A = this chain, B = another copy of it.
Amino acid sequence: MATILTLAGDGIGPEIMTQAIDVLKAVNDKFSLDLTLESGLIGGVAIDATGEPLPDETLARARAADAVLLGAVGGPKWDAIERSKRPERGLLKIRGELGLFANLRVAKLYPQLANASSIKPEIISGLDLLIVRELTGGIYFGEPRGIRTLENGEQQGYNTMVYSTSEIQRIGKVAFELAKTRAQAAGTAAKVCSVDKANVLEVTELWKQTMIEMQQADYSAVALSHMYADNACMQLIKDPKQFDVMVTGNMFGDILSDEAAMLTGSIGMLPSASLDESGKGMYEPCHGSAPDIAGQDKANPLATILSVAMMLRYTFKQEEAAQAIEQAVSDVLDDGLRTLDILDSSEAGLKQVGCKEMGQAVLAKL
C-alpha cells in the first residue's frame, strides 16, 4: 500500500485536482494499485487557514507520503502579504524540504493540437524534448539574500546564485541517464545539451566544467553539447527539434522550460515531475493557478491528469497504468474535445468543453 498526498492549492487548483483524483481512483481500481489518497493544504488556502503557505502538518504528511500531487498556488489575493508568507514560498519550501532537486518537464507536441502553436508547423511537428531543471539550488535558494539599506540611505536588493560540484553532478546524472533511456526507447543516439552562461558567470563555469568531466568519466556514449542561455532561448524558437534532453540550473530552467512549453502552444497539456534522490516525487502541471478563470469550469485538467500518469511511471513504476491514462487523453483529443485554451476556432469538428466534462471524458475512456 502506498499513500499519495494531494494538494489542490489555489485558483483553478481545486477544479483540476477533482478531475485528476477521479482519474487516479479509476486506474487505482482498474490496475489494483492499492493507492490511498489524502489531501492537504498549501499556498493561499493554507495561509487563509493557518497563516502559513506550507503548514507543518502538510510538510509532515508530504514527507510520510510516497508521492505528492499538486494543483497550483498563488493569486492576487495574497500578493500584498509579507514576502516570507506568500503562496509561492510554500511551493519553494516543499521543493527544498523534500529535496526534490530534479524537475522534469517534457515539451511534447500533441499532433491533434499542432495548430494551437504560434510556431510554424514544420518547425515543431513531432517535437518531444525534455528539460531537466535543477530545482533546489541556484539563485532560488542561495544565501545571502534580501533587501538592505545602504549607507547613503538608498536600498539595495541582492540574491546569490550558487552551485557546488556535488549538486551539479546530482542533476547531471539525472540528465545523462534519462538521455540514455530516451535514446534507447527511440532507437536514436543519446544527447544532452547543458545550458549555462559560462562566458559571464563563474557559477555556471563550474557547471559546464563539471558536466564535461562527468561525460568524460561516465557517459562517453552520450553526446554532450553546451549552449549559452541567451542562445538556447533563440535556438528553441529557431529549431527546437535539434534538442533532446536539456539540463540547466534553477533560474535558466524556469525560463527555458516555460518557453519550451509555449512552443507546443498548449501549456495546459504539460505535466512535470520533481524527484528526490530515491525517485520519490511531487507531480504538478506546468501551468499556474490562473486566478482569472478560477471557479468557472474553464480550466484544462489534462496537464494534472497527465501528471498522474507521470507519477505512476516514475514513482510507482506502473508503466501500463501510465500509458492507459496517456492513451485516454489522446482519445478525447481525437474525439475533438477541447477546453478553451486549446480550442482552435478555425478548425471544424471540435467541441468546446469545460474542466469537468473534459475530466469525465477521460474517465469514460479508461
Contacts and interface: CB of A to CB of B under 8 A. Distances in A.
A267 B146 CA distance: 37
A284 to B, nearest CB: 15
A66 interface: no
A200 B257 CA distance: 17
Contact of A263 (B139, B206, B237): B237
Interface in A250-294: 251, 254-259, 261-263, 267
A103 interface: no
Interface stretch (A3-11, A158-166, A171-179, A329-337): A158-166
A180 B111 CA distance: 44
A314 interface: no
A34 interface: no
A205 interface: yes
Contact of A255 (B204, B229, B267): B229
Given A233-B255, A233-B259, A258-B234, A159 B201 contact: yes
A154 B206 CA distance: 11
Nearest to A121: B120
Nearest to A146: B202
What range describes how many residues of A lie at the interface? 35 or more
Given A254-B229, A258-B233, A74 B199 contact: yes
A203 interface: yes
Contacts of A30: none
Contact of A230 (B92, B120, B255): B255
Contacts of A154: 164-166
A156 interface: yes
Contacts of A237: 118-119, 237, 259, 262-263
Contact of A205 (B83, B123, B229): B83
Contact of A139 (B86, B201, B233, B234): B201
Contact of A156 (B83, B139, B150, B163): B163
Contacts of A74: 199
Given A157-B163, A160-B159, A206 B147 contact: yes
A255 B230 CA distance: 4
A27 to B, nearest CB: 31
Interface of A: 74, 83, 86, 88, 92, 118-120, 123, 139-140, 142, 145-147, 150, 154-166, 197, 199-207, 229-231, 233-234, 237-239, 251, 254-259, 261-263, 267
13 contacts: A74-B199, A88-B199, A139-B139, A139-B161, A140-B200, A154-B165, A155-B164, A157-B162, A157-B201, A160-B160, A161-B161, A234-B267, A238-B262
For the complex of A and B, 4 pairs with smallest distance between CB atoms: A157-B203, A157-B206, A234-B262, A230-B258
Given A119-B120, A142-B158, A157-B205, 7 more contacts: A88-B200, A118-B119, A150-B164, A230-B254, A230-B255, A230-B258, A238-B262
